[in-house]
Amino acid sequence: MTKVTMTVNGKSVSGAVEGRTLLSDFIREGLRLTGTHVGCDTSQCGACVVHVDGKAVKSCTMLAAEAEGAEIKTIEGMANPDGSLSVIQQAFQDHHGLQCGFCTPGMVMSAAALLAENPSPTESEIRKYLEGNICRCTGYHNIIKAIMAASGQSVADVAAE
Ligand code: FES
Ligand code: FES
């Protein structure tokens, strides 16, 4: 076992991990932050996306030991300091960007990383960015609308699926 220390949602955390422990498992089982979902474990679905040093990363593709010293943000760290929903989370709610909600933490984390890089993405840029995030329920249409709205853009022209 190896000791790892990282900052998660602004707090320093440590734990003992095996060399093979995935970051997603450390977050869910070691830290009990179960908002990060695991849908596949094979880098397909994007349900496990978190931010590592500000970049969107599928946490099932990274070893916990590789995150030593990193700044991690999970969906639990996305709300505003007063506990209200962030702009992106509120936009998902307002535009019905979720149904079962399984993909939603990963979608929100990917959307936040996209908007940090590109504050006014086009619809096609959003679709391209979300290629690694699978949703089995929504058909993506309302997710795209939510991200357009969160970026302050009109949702009127979002093409139907
Ligand atoms: S659980 Fe990581 S990509 Fe599916
Ligand atoms: S809302 Fe169900 S998988 Fe996306």
3 state SS of 62:
coil
Q: What angle do CA 21, 24, 30 make, to 5 degrees?
A: 70
Instruction: Compute the distance between CA of residue 141 and CA of residue 91 in angstroms, rounded to an integer.
Output: 13
Using CA atoms, how far apart are residues 130 and 106, in angstroms rounded to an integer?
10
Sheet holding 49-52, edge to edge: 11-17, 2-8, 71-73, 49-52, 55-58
pLDDT in tens, 11-35: 999 999 999 999 999 999 999 999 9
2-76 belongs to which homologous superfamily? Beta-grasp domain (3.10.20.30)
Residue 146: band (very low, low, confident or very high) from pLDDT cuts 50, 70, 90 = very high
Share of the chain above pLDDT 90, in %: 94
Bin 119: left if φ > 0, else alpha if -120 < ψ < 50, else beta: alpha
Report CA(125)–ligand 1 centroid distance (Å).
Answer: 22
What is the arithmetic mean of pLDDT over 132-139? 96
pLDDT digits over 63-114, tens only?
Answer: 999 999 999 999 999 999 999 999 999 999 999 999 999 999 999 999 999 9
Ligand 1 midpoint to CA 49 (Å): 7
> What does the pLDDT read at residue 80?
96
Helix (H) or strand (E) holding 149: helix 141-150
- The residues of the chain that CATH labels 1.10.150.120 are 87-150
- At residue 158, the pLDDT reads 82
| Pocket flag, ligand 1, residue 65 (CB < 6 Å) | no
Q: What is the pLDDT of residue 11?
A: 97
Give 142: exposed, middle or buried? Use CB within 10 Å, 0-12, 13-18, 19+: buried
Predicted confidence (pLDDT) at residue 159 exceeds the cutoff of 80: no
The reply to whether ligand 1 has any atom less than 6 angstroms from the CB of 41 is yes
Query: 155: Cβ below 6 Å to ligand 1?
Result: no
CATH 3.10.20.30 in the chain is located at 2-76
- Among protein residues, the one with the nearest Cα to ligand 2's atom 2 is 100
**Reported CATH class of domain 87-150:** mainly alpha
